[in-house]
């Protein structure tokens, strides 16, 4: 197995929060995985879990090595394994917000956060205000 030194360091970089559309399937999958890892935990725990998951996936292992939650780990593995198909479907979707809601382990809060991260909403709470209106 190759050492971690041979992998591109940018793969492990924790992305800065910006509201932009993902540029490729890997960026799409990492953004979804990040939102799942950060859900219902502190920011530092979410970042650490995200980094551990990416390292496990880069090594060809299951994200379960970095994430003890079996449901979330299964969703992360599926998203990574199917990232190219999911990204193509996202790009081809007429309703990108609705498509994001179909992703595994993406609930109402993570859906809004992911939509904001992809530049589909002006603020993370915009989805909540639309639902009230």
* Whole-number pLDDT of residue 4: 43
Domain count, the chain: 1
* Whole-number pLDDT of residue 18: 57
Q: Which residues contact 10 (CB under 8 A, 6 or more apart)?
A: none
In a domain, 8, yes or no: no
Spatial separation of the C-alpha atoms in residues 27 and 33, rounded to whole Å? 10
In a domain, 7, yes or no: no
Tens digits of per-residue pLDDT, 90-132? 999 999 999 999 999 999 989 999 999 999 987 655 555 554 4
Cα of first residue to Cα of last residue in the chain, in angstroms, is 54
Contact present, 63 and 50 (Cβ < 8 Å) = no
Tens digits of per-residue pLDDT, 87-100? 999 999 999 999 99
**What is the three-class DSSP state of 116?**
helix
Q: pTM of the full predicted structure?
A: 0.79
In a domain, 79, yes or no: yes
Range of the domain at 122: 20-132
* Paired tokens of 52: 């551990």
Residue 30: pLDDT band (50, 70, 90) is very high
Helices (H), 25-82: 25-38, 43-58, 70-81
* Whole-number pLDDT of residue 126: 54
Contact present, 75 and 36 (Cβ < 8 Å) = yes
Q: What is the mean predicted confidence (pLDDT) over 25-37? A: 96
* Whole-number pLDDT of residue 7: 44
* Whole-number pLDDT of residue 109: 87
Q: What angle do CA 116, 38, 100 make, to 5 degrees?
A: 40
Tens digits of per-residue pLDDT, 35-55? 999 998 999 999 999 999 999
Spatial separation of the C-alpha atoms in residues 111 and 37, rounded to whole Å? 13
In a domain, 5, yes or no: no
In the predicted structure, residue 57 carries a pLDDT above the cut 50: yes
């Amino acid at each position: 197995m190759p050492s971690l030194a041979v992998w591109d360091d940018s793969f492990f970089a924790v992305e800065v929060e910006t509201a932009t559309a993902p540029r490729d399937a890997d960026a799409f999958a990492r953004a979804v995985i990040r939102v799942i890892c950060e859900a219902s935990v502190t920011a530092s725990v979410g970042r650490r879990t995200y980094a551990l998951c990416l390292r496990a996936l880069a090594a060809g292992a299951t994200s379960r090595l970095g994430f003890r939650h079996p449901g979330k780990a299964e969703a992360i593995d599926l998203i990574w394994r199917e990232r190219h198909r999911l990204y193509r479907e996202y790009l081809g979707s007429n309703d990108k917000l609705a498509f994001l809601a179909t992703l595994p382990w993406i609930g109402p809060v993570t859906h809004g956060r992911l939509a904001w991260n992809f530049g589909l909403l002006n603020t993370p709470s915009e989805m909540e205000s639309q639902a009230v209106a």
